[in-house]
Structure 1
Amino acid sequence: MTDKKLIGVDLGGTTIKFAILTEKGEIQQKWSIETNILSDGQLIIPDIIDSINHHLDMYGMSADQFDGIGLGSPGTIDHEKGTIKGAYNLNWTNEVYPVRDIEKGTGLPVTIENDANVAALGERWQGAGNNAKDVVFVTLGTGVGGGIIANGQLLQGANGAAGEIGHVTVDPNGFMCTCGKRGCLETIASATGIVRVARDRASEYAGDSELKAMLDDGQDISAKDVFDLAKKDDDLALIVADYVCDSLGFVLGNIANTLNPKYVVIGGGVSAAGEFLLNKVDKAMRKNEFATIKDSTELRLASLGNGAGVIGAASLIKVG
């Protein structure tokens, strides 16, 4: 073990988060900059290079004190070429070359990975995954993402798309998904999906409900509103929450049956519903598991919050 440090970069559509970590995963410095997606996102990689170089200079550090840079990004990753394409929220419609360009600009080796996968690595290394060899991570945000670590290795798949838990089909005749097929988990359990379910169920609901009144009044609602009202026993909100959690538990139970992970970890903004969400999903998950899985796989809430991305990105240098 050397005493060299790691740099983790979590590239998002709004902000780019950076951290300097020890090889044990302890964050020593962190900062962030705004993501400039103008000009087809052509300024993003130069901004990353400039920010890293500026901060190393500011902290009186040099490249030879680091093992490398790990970068988590949206989009499809080509690990062999070191490229990213299809990161539409960054305006990267064409292929970009972050490994080549950041290595040239900083003098440090760079490893890249999908953002959901680096969040999974972060939770596994320093969070709720407890550094277990087998961990499944699902993130419930604007969409539903995921990452799978099996026998200590991140599963990438033949085309880099392993762990796309959001596109497991729950209802073949369900809502249309942005991916082009119907009934994906993402159409139900994402933040936007929960609102969609609420509007759909409200159209058929005739009882007394604050959520129903809000929707009938034309108010904008959020997934947080749905779960906050469900916690207060609002009837319609409970119907929505139960359907969302049953659907998520169905998918996670079957993934657990397939992979037998030590931990299944739920993160993302929707996970802020906390133990209320966890308990409902756990009940549904157990209903769909066979006995051996029930005895050996545990459902947990993520514990690192926004820090999972930079920590997981830095861990790419350890395993990359």
Structure 2
Amino acid sequence: MAILAFDFGGSAVKYGVWNGQEMTDKGKFTTPKTWEEMKASLLAVFLGMEQEFEGVAFSAPGVVDVEKQMINGISAIPYIHRFNIFKELEELFNLPVAIENDANCAGMAEIYEGAAKGKKEVAFVVVGTGIGGAIFHNGQIAKGAHLYGGEFGLMYLSEGETFSKLGTAVQMAWSYCERKGVEKETFTGEDVFRLAENGDELAKEEVNLFYEYLTQGLFSIQFSLDPEMIVLGGGVSAKEGLLDEINRRMKEKLAHFELNDFIPQIVTCKYENDANLIGAAANFITIQKNNE
């Protein structure tokens, strides 16, 4: 039977139907301003589908505490936090509900049907404005004792700065703008990459630092968690030549530390736009199987 999946985003809520093979009947609506409006919008989608579902799956921002049935932390949707959201949604649909953090869902999509299919030990690293991710141990999400597992962006890299501050193309662009003395939105990461390719010396410096810090962070993740595979997600994962440059620098670091047992397997994600929806459905399926 099908699963209805929703992905809570700060500006839009995406939805779709997982039929066991693909995500169909996809759509989205603007993120409502209140919880009551959100519930009304969710129910309207549910009733509009005119079919039976096994359950409803959600991808959401924040720290999802399954035991306490709530979402902690902070996000761009403040009204979904710190109450029993599981219970309210189950009552709304009169169906089983599963909720998981959005980065964990994106990672689950790669484990379930994506780049890491068949792998058991995986680190999923999302590189956007900041850096997030998910850890998978024995094929299951490993959240850690305080539910902060996979918050790779909080790792210290250099002079008190974090991985999120140093290892993203967005931050690279902001640094370039600051050094140029212009507004930080003047140039994007794509602009800086292009400027570097055209010989701009300052852009070349910033691109070099971006790759160096990104590789340093991935090196630390590899030798802290020892995953079979690191999967990179986020917009920058689609950049041509990204993996070649990371792998070149990774090999240099391995040689420097005389680590020659293996070469870390780093790949880019298979899913982009539908990753959170597919992962939410995969999470629901996993929970139902574990409860059998």
**Is structure 2 residue 281 aligned with structure 1 residue 318?**
no
C-alpha distance after superposition, 1:274-293 (max 9, x if no partner): 23222222223333443234
Q: Structure 1: where are the runs of 5+ without partners?
A: 174-181, 203-211
Compute the displacement of 1:218 (Å). 8.2
State the alpha-carbon separation in 2 of the partners of residues 6 and 113 from structure 1.
Answer: 15
**Which residues in structure 2 correspond to 1:134-283 (within 5 Å)?**
134-171=121-158, 173=159, 182-200=160-178, 202=179, 220-272=186-238, 274-283=239-248
* Structure 2 residue identity aligned to 1:104: E
Task: Specify the alignment match of 1:179 in structure 2.
Answer: none
Alignment length (residue pairs): 283
State the alpha-carbon separation in 2 of the partners of residues 191 and 251 from structure 1.
Answer: 14
* Structure 2 residue identity aligned to 1:186: S
State the alpha-carbon separation in 2 of the partners of residues 233 and 301 from structure 1.
Answer: 27
State the alpha-carbon separation in 2 of the partners of residues 264 and 291 from structure 1.
Answer: 18
State the alpha-carbon separation in 1 of the partners of residues 38 and 74 from structure 2.
Answer: 12
Compute the displacement of 1:264 (Å). 1.1
Asked if structure 2 preserves the Cα contact closer than 8 Å seen for 1:249 and 1:288, the reply is: no
- Residues 1:220 and 1:110: Cα distance change in structure 2 (over 3 Å): same
State the alpha-carbon separation in 2 of the partners of residues 287 and 255 from structure 1.
Answer: 16
C-alpha distance after superposition, 1:161-219 (max 9, x if no partner): 10001111111x2xxxxxxxx4111112234422233245x3xxxxxxxxx5xx55987
Identity of aligned residues (%): 28
State the alpha-carbon separation in 1 of the partners of residues 286 and 126 from structure 2.
Answer: 22
Task: Specify the alignment match of 2:74 in structure 1.
Answer: 87
Compute the displacement of 1:73 (Å). 0.6
Compute the TM-score of the two structures, normalised by the length of structure 1: 0.81
Among 40, 43, 46, which residue is 1:49 paired with?
43
C-alpha distance after superposition, 1:72-109 (max 9, x if no partner): 11112111122113333113385143311111111211
Root-mean-square deviation over aligned CA pairs: 2.2
Asked if structure 1 preserves the Cα contact closer than 8 Å seen for 2:7 and 2:60, the reply is: yes
Task: Specify the alignment match of 2:31 in structure 1.
Answer: 35
